[in-house]
Amino acid sequence: MRSHNDRTVLRLVRSGAVSRASLAAEAGLTPQAVSKIVARLIAAGLLEETGTVRSAARGKPRTSLRVAAGGAHAYGAYVDRDELRVVRLDLIGEVVSSSVVPLAPMFTPADVLDALAPLVSADEKVLGLGIAIAGPLDFTGGVVSPNGLPGWNAVPLRELARERLGLPVVVDKDTNAAVLAEAWRRPLADAAVVFVGTGLGVGLLLGGEVHRGARSGAGEFGHTTIQLDGPLCVCGRRGCVEAVHATVSGAEAARVLGAAVVSLVQLLDLDQIVLSGRKVLESPELYLKAMPEVDVSVTSYGPDLVPVGAGLLVLGELY
């Protein structure tokens, strides 16, 4: 991408600005500048003309534009505690293909890369690979030490994947990827994705931006204490939300989560909660009934929420 203005134009077209004139008005650029940028983006295969539209004012019809969905692609991968889930996204963030590969107990970083290699390709239209994994991790450095994965201590996953796969790579927490995916489809301001799968955590959107915290540690909701002297957690402490939730099932599990989410909403003054993860998807109505009195929904992405968000980490750099 050549400039900030190129990104601005591409973002506005994705948001619904369909003509060069409307782009100039919304971006605060001259018509001449917009024409040059649009020509450049069309030549790069990122925009395409779709026909003509008539404006309310008199004059000749204007040529409409849209993002060229097939102009580029990104991969998103979710490293869970028992499986690897990979999607290929087009330029507007829609899933083109998806794959799921089981991971053996005690799998290593090398095992993950071996599983990833046949699922991704480094052709000229591929912008890169986003990898989502449980925290804690260093977002800036791409170094991960995920809870629940023995032997994964300070693993430079971004560099390892970049060297092995020959693609630009970005690494983030699974819950951050999840909330990014939800915000891609609809406007969210102060919201959380509560993810209940093989682990438990939240992705936070505060003021419309993903909140990672000073050390990339925000969202470790599953490892906050809810029961003193409670069951032992994979993080080494006792009574964490994740550990207590794992000891019960059905309505009681939903009640435990609901009590913890109440505290989260009160602490951060959130106005939207999105539930996801395999446990929620198995019994969505049970978990919905246990939630506090805010706008609560279940993700529409199904099991691909996290890998889609991981791919959007890459696509987001275009917009």
Q: What is the chain's mean pLDDT, rounded?
A: 92
Same domain as 146, residue 90: yes
CA contacts within 13 A on the Cβ side of 79:
33
Q: Is the pLDDT of residue 76 over 80?
A: yes
Q: In the β-sheet with 169-173, what is the strand arrangement from edge to edge?
A: 95-102, 83-89, 73-79, 126-133, 169-173
pLDDT, residue 16, reads: 78
Q: Per-residue confidence at 63, pLDDT binned at 50, 70, 90?
A: confident
Same domain as 188, residue 104: no
Q: What does the pLDDT look like over 220-229, one tens digit per residue?
A: 999 999 999 9
Q: Per-residue confidence at 18, pLDDT binned at 50, 70, 90?
A: confident
- When pLDDT is averaged across residues 53-63 and rounded to a whole number, the result is 62
Same domain as 169, residue 232: no
Q: What does the pLDDT look like over 32-57, one tens digit per residue?
A: 999 999 999 999 999 999 876 655 55
> Which residues, 6+ apart, have CB-to-CB distance to 137 below 8 Å?
143, 144, 145, 146, 171, 172, 173, 216
- When pLDDT is averaged across residues 285-293 and rounded to a whole number, the result is 93
CATH assignment of the domain containing 252: 3.30.420.40
pLDDT, residue 217, reads: 87
Out of 12-21, 206-215, 282-291, least confident range: 12-21
Same domain as 81, residue 229: no
Last residue of one domain, picked from the residues 14, 48, 67: 67
Q: Per-residue confidence at 58, pLDDT binned at 50, 70, 90?
A: low
CA-nearest of 212, 182, 119, 121 to 309 is 182
Stronger pLDDT, 243 or 55, i.e. the higher one: 243
> Which residues, 6+ apart, have CB-to-CB distance to 8 below 8 Å?
27
Same domain as 115, residue 210: no
Same domain as 275, residue 192: yes
Same domain as 100, residue 79: yes
Same domain as 283, residue 196: yes
Measured distance CA(77)–CA(113) in Å, rounded: 11
Same domain as 294, residue 188: yes
Tally of domains in the chain: 3
CA dihedral 302, 308, 313, 317 (to 10 degrees): -120
Containing structural domain, residue 221: 184-300
CA-nearest of 273, 274, 295, 297 to 285 is 297
The answer to whether the beta carbons of residues 92 and 312 sit under 8 Å apart is no
Measured distance CA(70)–CA(22) in Å, rounded: 24
CATH assignment of the domain containing 60: 1.10.10.10
Same domain as 310, residue 169: yes
Measured distance CA(253)–CA(233) in Å, rounded: 16
Same domain as 274, residue 215: yes
- When pLDDT is averaged across residues 61-89 and rounded to a whole number, the result is 93
Same domain as 261, residue 198: yes
Q: What does the pLDDT look like over 96-117, one tens digit per residue?
A: 999 999 999 999 999 999 999 9
Q: What does the pLDDT look like over 138-183, one tens digit per residue?
A: 999 999 999 889 999 999 999 999 999 999 999 999 999 999 999 9
